[in-house]
Amino acid sequence: MSSSWEDAPISPWSRFGDGEWLLDIRTAGRRADQNRFSWAAPMPECSRISGHDHSHLIRAAKHFLWSMHFDPPRGRKRSSATSLQQKAMLLRPIIGWMAGEGLSRFAEIDPAAVERFCTWLRRRPSRAGHDSIRPATVTNYLLAIKDLYRQRSKLADAPLIDPLPLETTYEAAGHTRASKGSIPFIPDRQAIAILNEALRWIEKHGETIVMAEAIRLEARERGLATGVFRQASYHVRRALRAARLSDPSGERLDGAYAARQAAVHLVEACYIVIAGFVGMRVSEILSMKVGAIEYRPIGETGVDQAYVVARLFKTVDDPDGRVERWTAPAPVARAVDLLERLSAPLRAASGREELFLVKNTQYGEIVPVTHMHIAWRINDFARHVGVPDHDGKPWQFSTHQFRKTFARFVARRDRTQLLGLADHFKHASVAMTARGYVGSDFDLHSLINHEARAETAAALDRLLAARQLGGKMGERIVARNARFRGRAGEQVRRDYVAFILEETDLRIHACDYGWCVFQQETSRCGGELEPDEAGRAPAVCLSCANMVIEAKHGSYWRDRRERNAALLPCANPMTAAVLNEAIGQCERVLAQIGDDHGQE
């Protein structure tokens, strides 16, 4: 007779005691096979435990996952179906290693066993193509073992001794800030190139491509109606040649393949524009259905604002996700309109409502696009439109990079918008926002903090190597940075930047006309933790000890000088005095940074 926990449902179709789990995970973009998990793993050839003991470990692992779902450790959320599947994927190799070690019970895991397990893990090749398994992956395994220990009072078999008594799971895995890594944002050159191309496809060529695809499908139907398959291709070619349409590169859309490929790339361009200009997660974008654009009035202005309507899955208990709305600029509304028209035939044939659909080439079934598929297609679009290389090789785009890049562009221009960004990103913890975090959860906090550190490191590196800088802080830096300049100072400069980032909370804040090496005690704008945008202005910053101006800012000061000079001939004496003072400020700055246009 099965115990009560084994009979508990893990989904409408499976129980915790089953040998195979069919999980209820409905996150958009997920493959169907990722919702199954089989416990029927064979015993390793080098096993030193019996088949009975092996079955006991599998049963104990299921019991542990049951406890994480129904009775998690204090302060932890119940494990979702997705988390259960991920934890099961970790427990299966742990059980295999235990069999090889001769450990027949989880209770036999102690600190020495964990140390041997870590050594074994680091010798395993990485499936991602790396020489060894990453510290982040080792951390995940150790977290599973630590959670077994935390749940010991609720389980029949669990570690009885703290497996990591003297260090955290991160320390034991070697998961430091240096080794952690992160999903990168897209470099500016590549981000601008791919977004510009995607916009061009949508705004200038979207109608043409949709028209070509409609002509192709209509002509194909006419050809198939004749009963001769070859007639379909003939009708398509004739109809497209008569239409005399061209793709974005100027090539004629005069055949079925050319029209279909253009339509495929247009779908990719639509995804890139939505991801790049809204910053939604891939699961949220792929969940979009017909009618995804909704217009709502902005107060009593008489103006309507467009919103993307999709489903949020992260942190949501409902497997179907929760309907949410994201502010959508005009190009995004245009992209969604094109997607609705392009997907109409597939939706009609399948009865589905999603905007991202594809015909499975193996079975001919129309199915939603997956995370993996759209990631591959983004890179295919980048190759097709000729996005420039980064450091001599093609940049490998991933879906989450667009979300990080969106946040980066917002954060680098105006840090006061970060709370709005947190709301736009649908992050969960409002209380954390109220306590002053940058964003509304650690995901956004780390994302923005990573960008701030990267921006500070790049700026520091340039400033320390500069021979001419403007602003009061700039003058001080130039007077003292001789040892950091040139090739001889490269390593010294890198070491110093690393020291500043690790050992201090110094951050350099950008604006159009310079950098603020922020220090509260000398701040003229009145900022406490960072520059106060309300009190910040060129004249204020020039009198501030925190200000640095480099050659890249020269265009701002030239433009400011010219605008003031243009007003001077018609100005009264009092206004002329103010204008001349502003012009003088500009000329002094341009002289400091060695701008060729500094003096007329």
Rounded Cα distance between 575 and 302, Å, is: 39
Residue (of 268, 244, 269, 254) closest to 216 by Cα position: 254
> Which residues make Cβ contacts (< 8 Å) with residue 35, sequence separation at least 6?
22, 23, 24, 25, 85
Burial of 386 (0-12, 13-18, 19+ CB in 10 A): exposed
| Amino acid code (one letter) for 364 | G
Single pTM value for the model: 0.65
Low-confidence residues of the chain, pLDDT below 50? 1-2, 177-179, 415-416, 418-419, 427-444, 598-600
Handedness of CA 438, 440, 441, 444 (dihedral sign): negative
H or E stretch at 6: helix 4-7
Q: For every residue of 208-238, which 3-state class applies, written as one string? A: HHHHHHHHHHHHHHHHHHCCCHHHHHHHHHH
Rounded alpha-carbon distances, angstroms, from residue 348 to 285, 355, 384, 524, 565: 21, 12, 29, 63, 64
> Which residues make Cβ contacts (< 8 Å) with residue 523, sequence separation at least 6?
531, 532, 544, 546
pLDDT given for residue 439 in this prediction = 32
Residue 208: other Cβ atoms inside 10 A: 18
pLDDT given for residue 449 in this prediction = 58
Burial of 531 (0-12, 13-18, 19+ CB in 10 A): buried
Rounded Cα distance between 455 and 423, Å, is: 24
Rounded Cα distance between 226 and 235, Å, is: 10
Instruction: Provide the token pair at 596.
Output: 């060729």
pLDDT given for residue 594 in this prediction = 85
pLDDT given for residue 338 in this prediction = 96
Query: Are 220 and 234 within 8 A, CB to CB?
Result: no
Please report where in the chains the tokens 């495929």 appear, as a residue: 264
Instruction: Provide the token pair at 244.
Output: 């005399």
What the chain holds in terms of domains, given with CATH numbers, is: 4-180 (no CATH), 188-406 (1.10.443), 414-549 (no CATH)
Q: How many helices (H) and strands (E) does the chain have?
A: 22, 10
Residue (of 305, 306, 307, 324) closest to 315 by Cα position: 324
Looking only at the bridges linking them, the beta strands covering 508-511 and 514-517 are antiparallel
> Which residues make Cβ contacts (< 8 Å) with residue 296, sequence separation at least 6?
304, 305, 307
pLDDT given for residue 274 in this prediction = 95
pLDDT given for residue 263 in this prediction = 95
Provide the 8-state DSSP code for 280: -
pLDDT given for residue 383 in this prediction = 95
> Which residues make Cβ contacts (< 8 Å) with residue 373, sequence separation at least 6?
358
